[in-house]
């Protein structure tokens, strides 16, 4: 009997340790996930464009296929690479973060450049040249998964840099929780966004009361504005996150001048207002300066990407096809 009680006591102790580990993983995942907020917002803002122009019945199936591709990107492709980096080449994490941050700055600055200097979209012209809707759907899904891979790599790298857990297994578990949680949050939100106008249209036609029909009309009218808001917020988030990653990376590499000056300026601005607002104003000032740096760095990268990297990648891709 005493042996059975001792065994039960050991089982209870193991259960407590396991529960504590689960709590630690959840806490670490929450902290790491918060660090990726800017990229998540942009991901949610970018994805709805991939279902534009398709029949409403095809929207959710397309989003589901992109979701599966995103999970494959994060869990099957990127998670093992992240774990290898963390345990065998941790020195590579900061340069990779800066590379991803540069991509975010480039994307954000390019969006601003296109607004200021609009021109025809090659992607739209290519879409118009595709007559088969099924082929167009496949092309859109492939394009979305490729874009997701880049954003997922940035999300996983940012999360990896933020994870502080005692062993490799908890690190892997935390990264997996972040990857799955982010994917559900992003594509669940996207599904709600793209179906909201259908909900509004249904209410407009079928709601039994004038209030319901009015709500439906309001939803239909609000959706274009919501998409515009998401685009603006997503672009701002890209530039803020990208700029802050580059600045922090420079500090890690020993180039501290820019980061210190931004910190000092933000601190000075924060202390120009009452103490109750000081923290918020300081954070806003720093985020704004990080974003301005992101715009500047992205503008520098536009000619590099379009005149050098793009043509080189095009030649490489054509050679692979031959």
pLDDT in tens, 198-207: 888 888 888 8
What number is the average pLDDT over the span 125-154? 72
* Residues with Cβ within 8 Å of residue 193, at least 6 apart in sequence: 44, 48, 223, 226, 227, 230
Q: Which domain holds residue 62?
A: 23-247
pLDDT attached to residue 168: 78
The tokens for 30 are 């929450």
Question: Confidence class of residue 131 from pLDDT cuts 50, 70 and 90?
Answer: low
Render 240-303 in DSSP notation, one character per residue: HHHHHHHHHHHHHTT--HHHHHHHHHHHHHHTTS-HHHHHHHHHHHHHHHHHHHHHHHHHHHHH
Write the pLDDT tens digit of every residue in 8-57.
344 334 333 333 444 445 554 454 445 555 566 655 666 666 666 667 77
Task: Report pLDDT for 108.
Answer: 87
The pLDDT score that the predictor gives to residue 259 is: 92
- Please check whether residue 315 lies inside any domain of the structure: no
Residue 89 lies in a domain: yes
Q: For residue 252, is it within any domain?
A: no
- Look at residue 179 and tell me if it is in a domain: yes
Do residues 82 and 160 make contact, with C-beta atoms less than 8 angstroms apart?
yes
Question: For the chain, what is the domain count?
Answer: 1
Please report whether residue 205 resides in a domain. Answer: yes
Residue 91 lies inside a defined structural domain of this protein = yes
Greater confidence (31 vs 255) lies with 255
| 82 close to 153: Cβ distance less than 8 angstroms | no
| Whole-Å CA distances, 34 to 6, 61, 261, 276 | 42, 29, 25, 24
pLDDT tens, position by position, 62-92: 889 989 999 999 999 999 988 888 888 888 8
Range from 30-34, 118-122, 292-296 carrying the lowest mean pLDDT: 30-34
Q: Which of 37 and 179 is assigned the larger pLDDT?
A: 179
Please give the pLDDT value at position 107.
84
Residue 24 CA to residue 126 CA, distance in Å, equals 48
Note the pLDDT tens digit of each residue in 86-109. Answer: 888 888 888 888 888 898 899 889
Residue 227 is predicted with a pLDDT of 78
- Mean of all residue pLDDT scores within the chain: 77
Band (pLDDT 50/70/90 cuts) for residue 157 is confident
Confidence of residue 293 (pLDDT cuts 50, 70, 90): very high
Q: Give a yes or no: residue 203 inside a domain.
A: yes
Residue 292: pLDDT band by 50, 70, 90 thresholds? Answer: very high
The answer to whether the predicted template modeling score (pTM) of the entire model surpasses 0.75 is no
Q: Does some domain include residue 268?
A: no
What percentage of the chain exceeds 70 in pLDDT? 75
What tokens appear for 282 in the block? 């300081």
Q: Phi-psi bin for 118: left (phi > 0), alpha (psi -120 to 50), beta? A: beta
Q: Is 71 left (phi over 0), alpha (psi -120 to 50) or beta?
A: alpha
Q: How far separated are the first and last CA of the chain, in Å rounded?
A: 75
Kindly state the tokens that stand for 76. Answer: 């099957």
């Amino acid at each position: 009997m005493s042996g059975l009680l001792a065994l039960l006591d050991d089982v209870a102790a193991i259960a407590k340790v396991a529960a504590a580990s689960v709590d630690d993983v959840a806490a670490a995942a929450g902290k790491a996930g918060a660090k990726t907020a800017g990229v998540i917002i942009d991901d949610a803002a970018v994805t709805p464009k991939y279902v534009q122009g398709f029949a409403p019945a095809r929207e959710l199936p397309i989003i589901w296929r992109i979701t599966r591709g995103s999970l494959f990107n994060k869990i099957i492709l990127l998670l093992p690479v992240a774990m290898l980096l963390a345990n065998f080449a941790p020195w590579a994490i900061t340069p990779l973060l800066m590379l991803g941050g540069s991509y975010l700055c480039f994307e954000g600055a390019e969006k601003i450049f296109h607004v200021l200097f609009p021109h025809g979209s090659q992607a739209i012209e290519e879409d118009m040249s595709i007559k088969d809707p099924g082929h167009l759907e496949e092309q859109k899904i492939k394009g979305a998964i490729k874009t997701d891979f880049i954003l997922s790599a940035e999300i996983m790298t940012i999360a990896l840099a933020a994870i502080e857990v005692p062993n490799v297994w908890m690190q892997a578990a935390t990264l997996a929780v972040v990857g799955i949680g982010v994917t559900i949050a992003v594509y669940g939100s996207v599904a709600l966004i793209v179906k909201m106008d259908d909900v509004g249209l249904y209410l407009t036609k079928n709601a039994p009361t004038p209030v319901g029909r009015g709500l439906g009309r309001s939803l239909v009218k609000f959706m274009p504005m919501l998409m515009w808001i998401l685009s603006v917020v997503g672009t701002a988030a890209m530039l803020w996150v990208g700029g802050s990653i580059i600045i922090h990376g420079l500090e890690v590499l020993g180039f501290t001048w820019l980061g210190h000056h931004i910190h000092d300026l933000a601190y000075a601005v924060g202390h120009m207002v009452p103490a109750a607002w000081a923290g918020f104003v300081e954070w806003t000032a720093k985020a704004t300066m990080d974003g301005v740096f992101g715009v500047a760095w992205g503008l520098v990268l536009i000619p590099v990407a379009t005149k050098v990297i793009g043509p080189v990648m095009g030649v490489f891709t054509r050679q692979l096809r031959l």
